[in-house]
Structure 1
Amino acid sequence: MAGTSFVDYVRIHCKSGNGGAGSTHMRREKYIPKGGPDGGDGGRGGHIIVRGNEQMWTLLHLKYQKHHKAGHGGHGSGQLKTGAQGEDVYIEVPVGTIVRDGETKEIMYEISEHGQEEIVMPGGRGGLGNDHFKSSTNQTPRYAQPGEPFQEGWIILELKVLADVGLVGFPNAGKSTLLSVVSAAKPEIADYPFTTLKPNLGMVSYRDNQSFVMADIPGIIEGAHEGKGLGLRFLRHIERNSLLLFMVPADSDDIHKEYKVLLNELKLYNPELLDKERLLAITKSDMLDEELKAEMEQDLPGIPHIFISSVAQMNIVELKDLIWKHLNK
Structure 2
Amino acid sequence: MDTKEHVIEVTDLRRVYGGGFEAVRGIGFQVGRGEVFALLGTNGAGKTSTVELLEGLAPPTSGRVRVLGHDPHTERAAVRPRTGVMLQEGGFPSELTVAETARMWAGCVSGARPVAEALALVGLGGKARVRVKQLSGGERRRLDLALALLGDPEVLFLDEPTTGLDAEGRRDTWELVRALRDTGTTVLLTTHYLEEAECLADRLAILHEGRIAAAGTPAEVTAARPARISFELPEGYFVADLPPLDQLRVCAHEADGRVLRLRTHHLQHTATAVLTWADRAGVELRGLDVRSASLEEAFLGIAREAARRDERTTA
User: In which range does the TM-score fall when normalised by the shorter chain?
Assistant: under 0.3
- Rg: which structure is higher? 1
- Of Structure 1 and Structure 2, the greater helix share is in 2
Bigger relative contact order (CA 8 A; separation at least 6): 2
What TM-score do the two structures reach when normalised by structure 1?
0.23
